[in-house]
Amino acid sequence: MHQQPLTGRLPRRSLSGRRVLFRHPAPRSNVVVMANGVFHTGHGIEINLTYEDLNKPDYAGLLDEITQPVGQRPRNLLQCLKDYRGEECQCALAGKSPWMFVRRQRSNGRVTWVAAHLPLTHVATPQESDKHKAMKERIARTAARHGLGVETEARSQDGRVITDVLVTGAGARVGWEAQYSPITANTVRRRSAKARERNIAPLWVTADDTSALIDRAPWARVDDVPWQRIVSPLALIIRGGVRHLQIWKCTPSSERPCPEMGSACGKWHSGWFLPALCLPQERATALDELIVTSADGEHLPVRSRNRHDVRRASYLWALASDVRRWREITGETGTPPESGPADDEPVTYTEQELDSSCRYGEEGPHTGGPRPHRDLNSATGLHTFDHAPDDTLLQPSRPIALRLSPGERLRVAADLKCPPWEIGPCMLCATPIHRYGPRSPMACSACRLTSLSR
């Protein structure tokens, strides 16, 4: 006999040990409703996610089984009910997958279990695989050359988590992930959270300014170059993901516009800027440099909230001295809570009838157009305050300079086929170039190409 839903809120624990709420009547709203049921291909049963016991009381541990990461279970474990019943599954008709996964979703202040279609698995192309291998080799080689601990394909104790390259230094254990193929934001968040649980600072490196990993975890972006260029000793400049703190007084003579009013407000502002947009200009950071400084603690990861929308945040790497000053000025800790439902947040069970309709196309934005650029040049973490901080930053913390030993200068000159005294730094990234010869450029070819593409 069907039990009527209760309207009270009583403490209770499910069979799986999760803290849950007693049942509520189904909410009435105009929000998109996702699938509340799936077919379990292993047991051959239909599962109703709106019931605490999934309407299958005889199957102990069923919820734990269907909510585990897709990589730890068969991909075809859960099937769209519409497809299972031989009806028209919109996802399958679109040439995509009828297989599903279960996740938490917050709606109207409540957290429920919902089912959504799995995205198509992207198989890395040969070019992506070569670049991935080359980037791992470069990270490991650079770390080993500077005396840091290196472990490639580092596995967790349970063997479920694999880090591309784990670099251990005096300041941190950094888990480098070389990502040259598409990846979902949820995957980035989940793998980064698992790294932090193991006391590893995640660091994702990509060459795609539209990648979903940008601002979903600490990241860095380099130029998209062939794998031969990645493994070469030539510098790879970080184009995004590393920023510098800028502090300025907002006056009519200020070189920056007021981020609040557009005209001078007389207050002080601070924010995170790309090196080329700093005043005075900072030099860019090379990939090899970040490999060392992130492990030594000279660079730290920062999570900066958008004060106009607390649900949005930016991830970046910054000098430890900048991070300390930023925290003193803003009071930010860099680790605000995520906007999604927490793992221990109680789940609401509404005991609705099983809905077999296919919700593909309603589960989120499915667009066929080009992906938007996620790596932006605009300043992040802008903050306004009334009084000047102590020792206001007026000079670049890392001025553009070339530091070469006599032997290194000779080797670079031989590579560039120019006299040693004509070697100088690129004005944007400090890479050694033929700087002072006749008609010599002031910036390296990589920086010039980047400027032209912009």
Confidence of residue 159 (pLDDT cuts 50, 70, 90): confident
| pLDDT at res. 221 | 96
| pLDDT at res. 361 | 55
Quote the tokens at residue 189.
Answer: 């968040």
Longest dimension (CA), the chain: 91
Distances (CA, A) of 420 to 18, 182, 258, 401, 415: 68, 43, 45, 16, 11
| pLDDT at res. 314 | 87
| pLDDT at res. 389 | 64
Backbone phi, then psi, for 49, in 5-degree steps? -75, -5
Cα separation of 137 and 127, whole Å? 15
Domain locations along the chain: 11-117, 122-341+371-399, 406-453
Cα separation of 331 and 243, whole Å? 19
Confidence of residue 295 (pLDDT cuts 50, 70, 90): very high
225 has pLDDT over 60: yes
Query: What is the average pLDDT across 301-311?
Result: 75
With the CA atoms of 362, 365, 367 and 371 taken in that order, what torsion angle do they form, in degrees rounded to the nearest 10? -160
Query: What is the average pLDDT across 301-319?
Result: 81
69 has pLDDT over 90: no
- The two counts, helices (H) then strands (E), for the chain are 10, 20
Confidence of residue 263 (pLDDT cuts 50, 70, 90): confident
pTM, rounded to two decimals:
0.60
| pLDDT at res. 86 | 78
184 has pLDDT over 90: no
Greatest mean pLDDT among 16-30, 95-109, 149-163, 271-285 lies in: 271-285
10 has pLDDT over 80: no
Report the length, in residues, of the chain.
454
Average pLDDT of the chain is 79
